[in-house]
Structure 1
Amino acid sequence: MGVNFDLNDLQAFRAVVELGSFRKAAEAVNISQPALSRRIEKLEGALGVRLFERTTRSVTLTTVGRVFAPSAEQLLDDLDVALLGIRDVSSSRLGHVTIACVPSVAYYFLPNVVASYHRRFPRIRVKLLDSSANEVLSSVISGEADFGVSFLGSQEAEVEFKVLLQERFVAACRRDHPIARKKRVTWNELYEHDYVSVDKTSGNRLLLDQALSTVAPHAPSVCETRHVTTMLGLIEAGLGVAAVPSMAMPGRDHPVLTSVPLVDPVVKRRVGIVMRRGRPLAPAAQQFYRAIIEMKRGGGATGENGDADFGPQATKTASRKSAS
């Protein structure tokens, strides 16, 4: 027995799932709201189940809808690959790509990639899931994200980890802080000052705990936060100092914040692209992957001790070089 629904019905379903609104979904697929409702009703009728619970205020997936959503997404992605092929993705195509990334990457590096990608493919919508390293890994494994950018994943059998760069941890502080006058600072010296730390749910905390097993802070941190970007806001407000990945720091022209290399020991982390093993990228995601690689090749500057500097200052410098 045939199934009486088509590609347009699946696309309407995906739009409602992603946007959580029949009105927004109708706008996204360029049809009227009644027409979109008819497509959803047709799909539900063909499957013999209700996919959404609808009230005047909200739209949520039913239990069956939550089970069906990943299959529909995979079907549309596979069809996209079959019909378009990698070379056929162009600015005239509709599509979407979902990238999971740790906040430090999302805030200072990926905006440059997204801007470049949008100029080339203005009709492809980009969704960024800025989450902890563990959540990035989960999003990739579950298929919620096409791929991720993180510093965890190299030990996981289910994923492939392609290293983009290696960066060191630095001491973040205000320009008027005593540490700012130093050329380098030890971890013990850092901990002599009030400091802010990341909590135990952070992948950075795990990495630091392992690397600093012989370094004991003199006192607990004055504040714990889950994300490095929040930590920098606290430092800018004068709460103390913090150890952060160099990529998380704003440009060298920032009026308040600066950084000093941390030594004894030098702690580094590898940042890379996390992909689910054995699952090919859809065309739109493949193009975004290429945009990241191109940005890495063209925007990465080598800092002290050969560490990659992938922050905003590096990308600004690369832009000036490419324009000259």
Structure 2
Amino acid sequence: MRNNFEFLDLKAFLAVLEHSSFNEAARRLNLSQPALSRRIKGLEEAVGAQLIERTTRHVAPTHVGRELLPLVRRLVDEFEESILSISDLGGRHRAQVTLASVPTAAFYFLPRVIEAFNARYPGIRFRILDLSANEGLEAVANGEVEFGINITGAARDDLSFTALVDDPFVLACRRDHPFAKAGSLTWRDLEGHPMIGVSKTSGNRAVLDQALARANLHLNWFYEVNHLSTSLGLVEAGLGVSVVPKLATPQVEHPLIATVTLVDPIVSRSIGLVERRGRRLSPAAVRFRDMLVHEWGGSSPRS
């Protein structure tokens, strides 16, 4: 029986149980499957008991494995937290934060916080997937990323949502359009005008359709596009007006596009953090998540 074990043995044990798969655990740890199996076997020899039961369809901890799991998690967390807290080592640490974000939120939320995070932990890398709302939810649910920045509109029992900011929908039109002179407009003012809208599969469209249905409002979605940036391009060309989240509009004065506040009702989407229930974030992801909450929690899009 071995009387010692390595840190990677513990990581291998956690990865197999967290992903319920030797294949996925090996991929995440950048190990071959035989190397991963040797890690698990080495830890079992050190403990003196089988820790994982594996069949062709099932991976689960044994009784001893279940008792050991919280201790291993604590050991791994404490070690990785120590590495992150030591700046000299932090510069050489190869940890990575993986997240999925809807594109407008990625542009608005992430740069400033990433800059502050990198100043404190210069060795932590980022992998950011800019995905649609539905694609981002799937990436969190299937473990492709650790967490996401997303919008409400697709509630799922396997995911949790922590709101950060309300992002109101506004009208985008050309500066030479009659609407551009209005201080604000009601949604009913838009009825009958050719509108540029995003696809019905979009999370933003779902939020809009639900709100307008409650208010018994019907807009003329004459053009349909997949991306908010495309809708703004059509607005700029003078083909119509569009309703877009404020974060998707130019954050500095645009020579051609104006935005107008929409009221009666005020319709907003909530942007926040999406996490898979029961999943343990890496220490680096926890630190970055906490910085996002501290920076943006309870704020509103800039005027």
TM-score with structure 1 length normalisation?
A: 0.66
Deviations 1:96-150 (A, max 9, x none): 1111111221123322322332333222111111112122211111111111111
Partners of 1:153 and 1:159 within 8 A in 2: no
Question: Secondary structure in 2 aligned to 1:85?
Answer: helix
Question: What's the counterpart of residue 269 of structure 2?
Answer: 269
Aligned in 2, Cα 1:247/1:46: closer, same or farther, shift over 3 Å? same
Structure 1 residues 120 and 203: alpha-carbon distance in aligned structure 2, compared to 1, 3 A threshold? same
* Distance (whole Å) between structure 1 residues aligned to residue 290 and residue 136 of structure 2: 19
SS of the residue corresponding to residue 287 of structure 2 reads: helix
Q: Which residue of 2 aligns with 1:216?
A: 218
Shift, 1:157, TM fit: 2.1
Equivalent pair of 1:101/1:136 in contact (CA under 8 Å): yes
Aligned-pair CA distance for 1:153:
6.8
TM-fit CA distance, 1:248: 1.7
Alignment of 1:225-240 (within 5 A): 225-240=225-240
* 8 Å Cα contact 2:84/2:121 also seen in 1: no
Contact between 1:86 and 1:286, CA under 8 Å: does it hold in 2? no
Distance 1:114 1:236, change over 3 A: farther
Q: Which amino acid aligns with 1:159?
A: L
> Could you say if the C-alpha distance between residues 177 and 116 of structure 1 is closer, same or farther in structure 2, counting changes exceeding 3 Å?
farther
Aligned residues of 1:171 and 1:190 also touching (Cα < 8 A): no
In structure 2, what is the Cα distance between the partners aligned to 1:104 and 1:172? 15
CA contact (8 A) 2:150 2:273 kept: yes
The 5-angstrom pairing of residues 67-82 of structure 1 reads 81-82=77-78
Q: In the alignment, is residue 138 of structure 1 matched against residue 134 of structure 2?
A: no
- Structure 2 counterparts to residues 158-177 of structure 1, below 5 A: 158-177=158-177
| Counterpart residue type for residue 141 of structure 2 | I
- Asked if the contact 2:165/2:297 (under 8 Å) is kept, the reply is no
How big is each residue's C-alpha offset from its partner over 1:194-236, in whole Å with a ceiling of 9 and x where there is no partner?
321011110111111111121122x4423x1222233223323
Report the residue type matching 1:103 in the other structure. P
Partner of 1:322 in structure 2?
none
CA gap of 1:174–1:122, structure 2 versus 1, over 3 A, is farther
Counterpart of 1:65? none
1:85 aligns with 2:86: no
* 8 Å Cα contact 1:228/1:248 also seen in 2: yes
The structural deviation recorded for 1:169 is 0.9
CA distance, structure 2, for counterparts of residue 196 and residue 180 of structure 1: 16
Counterpart-to-counterpart distance in 2, 1:141 and 1:17? 17
Aligned position for 2:96: 96
Any conservation in 1 of the 2:141–2:158 contact (CA below 8 Å)? yes
Q: For the aligned residues, what is the CA RMSD?
A: 3.7
Partner-residue secondary structure (3-state), 1:195: strand
Look at both structures and tell me which one has the larger radius of gyration over its CA atoms: 2
Q: What is the distance in 2 between the residues matched to 1:153 and 1:86?
A: 38
After TM superposition, list the pairs within 5 Å mapping 1:227-306 onto structure 2.
227-296=227-296, 300=299
Contact kept in structure 2, 1:104 and 1:229, CA below 8 Å: no
What are the within-5 Å matches in structure 2 for residues 18-167 of structure 1? Answer: 43=35, 81-85=77-81, 88-89=84-85, 90=87, 91-92=90-91, 93-152=93-152, 155-167=155-167
**SS at 2:222 equivalent:** coil
Following superposition, the deviation at residue 256 of structure 1 comes to: 2.9
Q: Any conservation in 1 of the 2:153–2:206 contact (CA below 8 Å)?
A: no
Tell me if the contact between 2:152 and 2:269 (Cα under 8 Å) persists in the aligned partners. no
Number of residue pairs matched by the alignment: 253
State the SS of the aligned residue for 1:289.
helix
Q: Which runs of 5+ in 1 are unaligned?
A: 19-35, 48-67, 69-76, 301-307, 314-324
Gaps of 5+ in 2: 13-22, 40-58, 60-71
1:242-264 C-alpha deviation (Å, 9 max, x unpaired) = 11111222214333333111123
Alpha-carbon distance in 2 for matches of 1:133, 1:248: 14
